[in-house]
Amino acid sequence: MKFTGSQRLSALILLAFFCPICLWAGGVNADKSIERKLFIDALMSKMTLDEKLGQLNLLAWDGSLQTGAAANSGVSEKVKNGLVGGLFNIESKSTRMEIQKLAVEQSRLGIPIIFAQDVIHGHRTVFPIPLALSCSWDTELIERTARAAATEAASDGIDWVFSPMVDVSRDPRWGRVAEGAGEDPYLGSLIAKAMVKGYQGEDMAQPGAVMACVKHFALYGAGESGRDYNTVDMSEIKMFQDYLPPYRAAVDAGVGSVMTAFNDINGVPATSNKWLIDDVLRKDWGFDGFIATDYTAIREMGAHGIGDLETCSALALDAGIDMDMVSEGFVNTLKNSLEKGTVSMDEIDQACRRVLEAKYQLGLFDDPFLRLKDNIAEEGQNEEFMNLALEAARKSAVLLKNESSVLPLTKGQKIAVVGPLADSKKATMGTWVLNGDTSQVITVLEGLRKRTAVSYVKGARLTDDEALAKLIGYPMDEQSSEELIEEAIEVATFADVVVAVLGESAVMNGEAASLADINLQASQKELLQKLVETGKPVVLVLLTGRPLTLEWEDANCAAILQCWSAGSQTGNAVADILYGDFNPSGKLTMSFPRKVGQVPVYYSMKTTGRPFWEGVKYTSRYLDVPNTPLYPFGFGLSYTSFDVSDIQLDKNAFAENDTLTATINLTNTGEMAGEETVQLYLRDLEASVTRPRKELKHFQKVFLKPGETKTVRFKITVDDLMFYNSELEYQAEAGEFRVEIGLNSESTKTAIFEFVD
Ligand code: BGC
């Protein structure tokens, strides 16, 4: 008998064939999980060992982006033979359709393929890169972008997205900070949750929903020296306190799958880390979805020095991995390991069951072509999503400087636009846009041109560094840097304001794009210096995927707008902001160091036993640079100004079942309506272990008209005071706490309260 997998009906017929009582259970009992179990039991009883191993095999499409040591080939043949469970990064829907037909019509049991894709910040409509989106501090907006991405991906035949990436990172040298939500576990957790909800909705089988995959479990963002894929060695307190919460939040939000990380953790690769996968993720957190490796991560355990492919595959399965991405270690070696007794049939069955359960939850057994049909996307959706992309790009931009109110620009001013990124669609879209619709992308130049006639020249090469240019595939300009700069000075001379659009191309951040020097490229810096020398006010618009070191720029440019790679609507958003039609409200989610030597520099560092003390030598400090970042976490200017009143506490002490309310009044003291993000931080002043100098615990976004005042109240509960002690117990300890409320992490109002047993 052949399992077609095409209809619920046929699934139930299959059930009836093997187990009539199951049909009764499936038809009468509304409990979906029982029905699912019976269905999968029946299916698995029909599967050979090879077919089971096939379900654990997650392959990259022939010729797709190769990000690891190996690629796959002969994929169609393997699909026909039932040796593939999932496929990712296939370019077109028609190919997905062909493959699904092969799987369903030509493989022995007709088990559908699960199609995955790196949908990281939008699919066709490109939203700001995740780091940018996080600067909106708007989880509802972020959820909507994930939902839109899911809708577009699902109508393109994609079932499963390799997102959200929730790796906390405090190292801007690491290119992949572009893909995450920055340095803070609390904000990162809220965003993780929002994205999972956005992708999966209430029911993954519903139209427009896909399965999310939280990655990279775990601690991928903490690699030594910011070098991609590098080793992680970290205390358990720090892991649980600072790095694991966002993964946990995704699990609590019901994420369907988890991807493990490339790195090792305290000596054990994440991909074979039984403690991490089995004890923490499965047992402690109760995760019951399936777990895939990252690209060739099992094979790479060989390079980690763990053993050959067979050994590593057995270790990974034993640790709890269900799907092997690209390595083909499971499909090719687990049979041997089974014979030798290094893995058990139960382990293989369990992994296979989890993959089949995911397919079931996605509705693929009801209809393998569910997401492959025509016209799932609704009419008018493109416009709706473009409006969303505009809203997201506007809210992600962070105004870092605005001297003498050079911004907003006024109508009638003559504008010169310069910079190698001003008209670059790729830099505008950013990293990981496999299916982004380039034709819909508005560059900064295009956005400004819709407003006014501007003169434009490129002004500089992206980089003068030939080795770097070769690595990132940048074709060196024929014009020399001197010629390009000369042209720029000429247009600047005739302008009232210069808008310099500088930063990073899309491949200068993201995966395998670590940098030891996070200054602007010398070619661009030189351009900027020459522009500043003209005496014209220079507005620096930065398109980057990471914080750069901007001391010189901060001292010399009239204004700086950190726009990031903000997606399809970047140009319109920048024009809206520069001309004051949108008042910037973004707040940094990563600290910007003054010098790269400060890294890691983050707001929640500890004080040490010798906190910095001005004028005292033997305190924790640098001789050549302040300890503080140039722009702190939570920082971002507005065109208006806000005043935060002193903090009022409703009591000075509270106990476990009680709450404490901290209140401030926020007043818009400027002349433009605007939105602020009021942030609340806590410091535990008496604890059994050393604690961060402050931790974000709450925030509220508040919109105020000029002159308006609103009262902002935060409720503090015992949950906000909890932390991991040296026994790794999560608890709150009695003692004194400091509450800080402000508009960024460094400039705050403070008050003291006590927590009593
Ligand atoms: C990346 C993952 C990505 C995977 C599949 C890997 O190189 O680390 O984030 O999902 O490739 O493309």
Q: What pairs with residue 351 in β-bridges?
A: none
Q: How many A from CA of 71 to the centre of ligand 1?
A: 13
The rounded distance, in Å, linking the Cα atoms of 176 and 167 is 9
For residue 247, give the nearest of 291, 296, 203, 312 by alpha carbon: 291
Q: What confidence score (pLDDT) does residue 68 get?
A: 82
Q: Indicate if 294 belongs to the active site.
A: yes
Asked if residue 295 has its Cβ within 6 Å of ligand 1, the reply is: yes
| DSSP secondary structure code for residue 239 in this structure | I
86-88 vs 114-117, strand pairing mode: parallel
Question: What letters, b where the CB count within 10 A reaches 16 and e where it falls short, cover 238-272?
Answer: ebbbbbbbbbbbbbbbbbbbbbbbbbbbeebbbbb
The sheet with strand 160-161 has its strands ordered as 290-292, 257-260, 211-217, 160-161, 114-117, 86-88, 57-60, 324-325
Ligand 1 test: best mutation among 118, 217, 300, 434, most atoms within 8 Å of CB?
118
Residue whose Cα lies nearest atom 5 of ligand 1: it is 295
Asked if residue 89 has its Cβ within 6 Å of ligand 1, the reply is: yes
Residues contacting residue 295 through CB under 8 Å, at least 6 positions apart: 60, 67, 68, 325, 326
The rounded distance, in Å, linking the Cα atoms of 736 and 748 is 18
φ/ψ bin of 15: left (φ > 0), alpha (ψ from -120 to 50), beta (otherwise): alpha
Ligand 1 test: best mutation among 129, 214, 294, most atoms within 8 Å of CB?
294
Q: How many A from CA of 294 to the centre of ligand 1?
A: 6
Q: Which CATH number fits domain 642-755: 2.60.40.10, 3.30.420.130, 1.10.15.40, 2.40.33.20?
A: 2.60.40.10
Q: What confidence score (pLDDT) does residue 64 get?
A: 77
The rounded distance, in Å, linking the Cα atoms of 45 and 78 is 21
Residue whose Cα lies nearest atom 8 of ligand 1: it is 294
CA angle, residues 549, 550, 554, in degrees to nearest 5: 160
The structural domains of the chain, with segments of one domain joined by +, span: 1-46, 54-63+71-114, 391-598, 642-755
Residue 490, CA atoms < 13 Å, CB-side half-sphere:
11
Q: How many A from CA of 162 to the centre of ligand 1?
A: 8
Q: What confidence score (pLDDT) does residue 245 get?
A: 98
Q: How many A from CA of 93 to the centre of ligand 1?
A: 20
Asked if residue 432 has its Cβ within 6 Å of ligand 1, the reply is: no
Q: What confidence score (pLDDT) does residue 21 get?
A: 40
Residue whose Cα lies nearest atom 11 of ligand 1: it is 295
Unique residue bearing structure tokens 């309310």: 661
Asked if residue 162 has its Cβ within 6 Å of ligand 1, the reply is: yes
**How far, CA to CA in Å, does 520 sit from each of 185, 227, 350, 463, 663?**
28, 19, 50, 9, 41
Residue whose Cα lies nearest atom 4 of ligand 1: it is 295
Residue 67 CA: nearest ligand 1 atom is 7
Cis peptide before 194 (omega within 30 of 0): no
Residue 213 CA: nearest ligand 1 atom is 10
Name the residue type at position 73. Answer: S
Set 167, 294, 322, 684: catalytic member? 294
Q: Which residues of the chain have pLDDT under 70?
A: 1-30, 375-380
Q: What confidence score (pLDDT) does residue 625 get?
A: 96
> pLDDT tens for residues 573-621?
999 999 999 999 999 999 999 999 999 999 999 999 999 999 999 999 9
CATH hierarchy code of domain 391-598: 3.40.50.1700
Residue whose Cα lies nearest atom 7 of ligand 1: it is 67
Asked if residue 294 has its Cβ within 6 Å of ligand 1, the reply is: yes
> pLDDT tens for residues 404-420?
999 999 999 999 999 99
